[in-house]
Amino acid sequence: MNEMQGKNGGANAALHDALYQQISSSSDEAIKVALGLVDEADKAAQKMVAECETLLAAVRQGTEQIRSELREKMVEFATVMRDYSEEIAAKNRAYVEAGRNTTDMISSHIEAVRAAMKSVAHEGAPTAAHHAAIIDMRQALQ
């Protein structure tokens, strides 16, 4: 019986060794496949990182271009507004000056009319002074 067990034990050991070899071989193959997949995933990740960096650089460049154009437009707008304000201020000054000139002219006419009225009131009949005052008044009103 010991012989039988010895034969069976040897057969079992051989079977065990064969199964171990097969499992080891399969495990080694699975590890190689897994490492290959890890390498592929690493390469894909590196490629994605490079693409993201390229996109980020493009976004930064576009953002800087937009900022630059916006600065230029703001300077242009400020210049236009300053010129417009200066133009309006000049028109306002001219309007005020025209108002003063009109007021001065009206005051002058009022004085001419008063002088003519005084001249007529002091004299009963028209005289040379009266005629001169009327002429002065007409000239002042023109």
Cα dihedral sign for 25, 27, 30, 35? Answer: negative
Range of the domain at 86: 2-141
Which pLDDT tens digit goes with each residue over 56-99? Answer: 999 999 999 999 999 999 999 999 999 999 999 999 999 999 99
The pLDDT of residue 21 is: 79
Residue 116 and residue 137 in contact, taking contact as beta carbons nearer than 8 Å: yes
pLDDT (tens digit, 9 = 90+) per residue, 107-142?
988 888 888 787 776 655 556 666 777 777 777 766
Angle at 27 between CA 23 and CA 29, to 5 degrees: 120
What is the per-residue DSSP string for 40-95? Answer: HHHHHHHHHHHHHHHHHHHHHHHHHHHHHHHHHHHHHHHHHHHHHHHHHHHHHHHH
Count structural domains, the chain. Answer: 1
pLDDT of residue 142: 67
Give the model's pLDDT for residue 124.
56
Six-digit token pair at 50?
Answer: 């490079």
Residue 126 in contact with residue 101, Cβ under 8 Å? no
| Cα–Cα distance measured from residue 99 to residue 112, given in angstroms and rounded to the nearest whole number | 20
More confident residue, 111 or 26: 111
Cα–Cα distance for residue pair 58/3, rounded to 1 Å = 81
In sequence order, the 6+-apart residues with CB closer than 8 A to the CB of 138 are none
